[in-house]
A = this chain, B = another copy of it.
Amino acid sequence: MVVNEFIGEATDLLRRTPEVLRTLLVGLPDSWTDTSDVPENGWRPHDVVGHLITGELTDWIERTECILEHGTSVPFETFDRFAHTDRDADATLDELVEHFATLRAENLARLAELVSEEDLDRRGMHPSLGEVTRRELLATWAVHDLDHISQIYAGMAGSHDAEVGPWKTYLGILLRRDDPSAIAG
């Protein structure tokens, strides 16, 4: 293989995320997309895609470059978990998905220039977590996608919490919105 297996497999997943979001969300009626993952202080799909955009703008590639340039001597910038709130207030969900897709494509091209097998164990300094490796950063980029797409699914399910009637008792994705310790039905 031209690239390291780990890099290739992580990149394969990262490349799929924009297309998954397009397939799932673009053109879907608001009745599915206007509900938060949890009832209190949750995020709607609009917030989640905004948060993914923030990662592309300020986090994953910037931190990769920080490791390459500074190793552990300069800590990463803190991730602003609410940067999307004002920035994306006027954008539609469909616009955010397309913006995310553009940024992700640019960042994967940049990653291909920056990353190589022998660099995966190089270390950087996370402002809270301490020393981390490039390998961990790359795996986290991918799992962070999975975490937040799952959050989109929780909000979409929540939009039809009432409509399923008595079947709710079998639907773990709804039960967990009310009680995180509920076991999937």
Contact = CB atoms under 8 A, between A and B. Distances in A.
B184 A183 contact: no
Contacts of A140: 164-165, 167, 171
A6 B163 CA distance: 10
Interface stretch (A94-102, A108-116, A173-181): A173-181
B139 A163 contact: yes
B160 A139 contact: yes
A177 to B, nearest CB: 11
B143 A184 contact: no
Interface stretch (A67-75, A83-91, A129-137): A129-137
Interface string A1-26: 00000100100110010011001100
A137 to B, nearest CB: 8
B133 A160 contact: no
Contacts of A182: 180
A54 interface: no
